[in-house]
Amino acid sequence: MTDNPIVSIRHVSKYFGKFAALEDVSLDIHAGEIFALLGPSGCGKSTLLRILSGFETPSEGELLLDNKDLVPLKPNKRPINMVFQSYAVFPHMTVEDNVAYGLKMEGVSKSEITSRVNEALEQVHLTGLGQRKPNQLSGGQRQRVALARVLVKKPRLLLLDEPLSALDAKLRDAMRLELVKLQESVGITFVIVTHDQSEAMAIADRIAVLNDGKLRQLATPAELYQRPVDAFVADFVGKIHCFDVASASIENELIQVTSSTLPPLSLPPSVMSSALHSLPVASSGGVQQTQQSIGRQPRSQTDAIGRLDSASGKLVLAIRPEHISASLSEPASADVSLLGSIGDIAFQGQHSILEIVIDGKPSLTAIVENAAAQALHNAGFGSPVWAYWTASDMLLLPENASNGSN
């Protein structure tokens, strides 16, 4: 992977009438990586893909491929190819003709077409099916045809629109691995659009999380999971429990947090979301100014107090289920412990998922070892149980980073 981005998207916005499908999105895609655009439906990820492929033009902003402006190029002139969500394998052509189509359009010689088509069919394990018509293929095979059809063009960038959503669960898992292997062997940069966080996490080198047309966070899968920038991202990439924060301030380099449901806590600064460092600060004159990131340690305590206070209404404390432990007796030394009762226990093979009911509502889930789960199971439904965790495993997040900053 080089530092030179293959694609630069700079301040791109797209409006459909008054509706903003994309707002000021900037990101770089590096050569040779699998880049995922992740978000719920209607977040703008497909619009961004269509802008890359050339079927939409950005209302504002720049689009560069290898440092050259891409916007004026028509879709058929871009060295970018796309695997459509519906595959769009031409039904009136054989598999071979489908794969050869793009090369014929380029005016490649017949003998070269034959050898490249065969090579592409081999890459997607469709050798021998070249004479079939698409309606004689399974969904998975049709997708492979769509893949071969774009691979054969050797594009600079390969776009995949929800590549796995139309496949059944088992095929999907197999195809995930195959896509990664394929990408490694051909070395083409992949951009994948998906709404499935587990798919993005499993395949991608880096993920851009989008919501409401805005880029929320761009990070590696691990970073996204462990250090989400806000509660939306944290919740979108995996299960997480959030507690409302009543007030938060920094004293002696520790964050003091109070909340309606949790005891007062002193947390290390490492739990703070990176977005909090750039929240607007109420200066003495009452004028709002945006302070750029000043790293983990606040420059001065008064600044930090002002910063967290100004946002405290929108802050949440969050903890992931795998950090929550459960015990039938009150834990002796735990930063946070909550008393609840045992709800459902779901056996998952190597571990079990325990539901803890607090105030009559199922409110926490904990991942427990099977031995512990057996004990909990024996205690029976409704027995008192303590959920506890270490404070430093928690995350202090703004509810919505991009809204919090304006």
Partner 1 sequence: MYSFGENVSLVDIETTWTFDNYARIFKPEIMTLLWRTVWISLVATVVCLIVGFPVALVIATASPAAKAWLLLLIMLPFWTNLLIRTYSLLNILGTRGRLNELLGWLWLRCNDFLSFIGAGELGLLGEKFVPIKFLGTPSGVVLGIIYVSLPFAILPLYSSLERMDRSYLEASMDLGAGQMQTFFRILVPLAMPGILTAFIITFIPALGQFLIPDLLGRGQVDMVANVIQRQFKGANDWPFGSALSLMLLYVTFILLALRAFGDAAKARRESIR
Q: Which of 71, 105, 174, 177 binds partner 1 (CB under 8 A)?
A: 105
Cα(54)–Cα(71) distance, integer angstroms: 7
361 touches partner 1 (CB under 8 A): no
Q: Binding residue for partner 1 (CB under 8 A) from 5, 58, 102, 343?
A: 102
Closest distance of CB 75 from partner 1, Å = 5
3-state helix, strand, coil split of the chain in percent (to 5) is 35, 35, 35
Residue nearer to partner 1 on the CB measure, 85 or 363: 85
53 binds partner 1 (CB under 8 A): yes
Cβ proximity to partner 1, 85 vs 312, nearer residue: 85
Q: Which of 10, 30, 133, 172 binds partner 1 (CB under 8 A)?
A: 133
d(CA 142, CA 83): 11
Q: How far is the CB of 172 from partner 1 (least distance, A)?
A: 21
Please report whether residue 106 would count as binding partner 1 according to CB under 8 A: yes
81 binds partner 1 (CB under 8 A): yes
User: Residue 382: exposed, middle, or buried by beta-carbon count in 10 A (0-12, 13-18, 19+)?
Assistant: exposed
Distance separating alpha carbons of residues 76 and 391, to the nearest angstrom:
55
Judged by CB under 8 A, the stretch of 18-26, 90-98, 170-178, 330-338 that binds partner 1 is 90-98
Burial 60-82 (b: 16+ CB within 10 A, else e): ebebbbeeeebeeeeeeebebbb
Contact between 253 and partner 1 (CB under 8 A)? no
Strand 325-327 versus strand 80-83 pairing type? unpaired
C-alpha–C-alpha distance, residues 393 and 324, integer Å: 9
We find the least distance from the C-beta atom of residue 28 to partner 1, in angstroms, to be 23
84 forms part of the interface with partner 1 (CB under 8 A) = yes
Query: Alpha-carbon distance 398 to 168, whole Å?
Result: 37
Direct distance between the N- and C-terminal alpha carbons of the chain, in angstroms, rounded to an integer: 35
85 interacts with partner 1 by CB under 8 A:
yes
Residues near partner 1 (CB under 8 A) are 53-55, 74-77, 80-82, 84-86, 88, 90-92, 101-102, 105-106, 131-133, 135-136, 149-150, 153
